[in-house]
């Protein structure tokens, strides 16, 4: 049994953050790298250095943090006037123009 504060698992968090980032940039590697991250997380429980809850929360925190950073980066690097879900006035005018 773990003898110290082991909550959450840093190994699981790092593995899933890395797996999310690699999978985002190389979709063909997404499944294999996430399986590898799952193996890292399982090994922490199997070697009895973490409880299952430590590993689950570490995995969620790692992947979630990576997703938030990637989303913030995408929003920051978006060209001006290209907000997601917003139709520009010019495009809207073309869509509504009556060409009869």
Question: How many angstroms separate the CA atoms of 16 and 10, rounded?
Answer: 10
Q: Is residue 3 part of a domain?
A: no
Q: Is residue 4 part of a domain?
A: no
What's the domain range around 29?
A: 10-96
pTM of the model: 0.70
Domain total of the chain: 1
pLDDT, one tens digit per residue, over 1-24 is 556 667 788 889 999 999 999 999
pLDDT, one tens digit per residue, over 25-73 is 899 999 999 999 999 999 988 888 888 888 999 999 999 999 999 988 8
Q: Is residue 84 part of a domain?
A: yes
Q: Is residue 77 part of a domain?
A: yes
Q: Is residue 2 part of a domain?
A: no
Q: Is residue 1 part of a domain?
A: no
Q: Is residue 70 part of a domain?
A: yes
Q: Is residue 57 part of a domain?
A: yes
């Amino acid at each position: 049994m773990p003898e110290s504060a082991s909550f959450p698992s840093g190994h699981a968090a790092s593995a899933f953050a890395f797996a999310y980032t690699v999978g985002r940039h190389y979709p063909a590697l997404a499944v294999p790298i996430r399986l590898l991250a799952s193996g890292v997380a399982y090994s922490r429980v199997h070697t009895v250095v973490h409880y299952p809850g430590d590993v689950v929360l570490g995995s969620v925190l790692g992947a979630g943090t990576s997703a938030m950073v990637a989303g913030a980066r995408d929003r920051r690097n978006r060209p001006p006037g290209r907000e997601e879900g917003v139709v520009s006035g010019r495009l809207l005018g073309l869509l509504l123009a009556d060409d009869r």
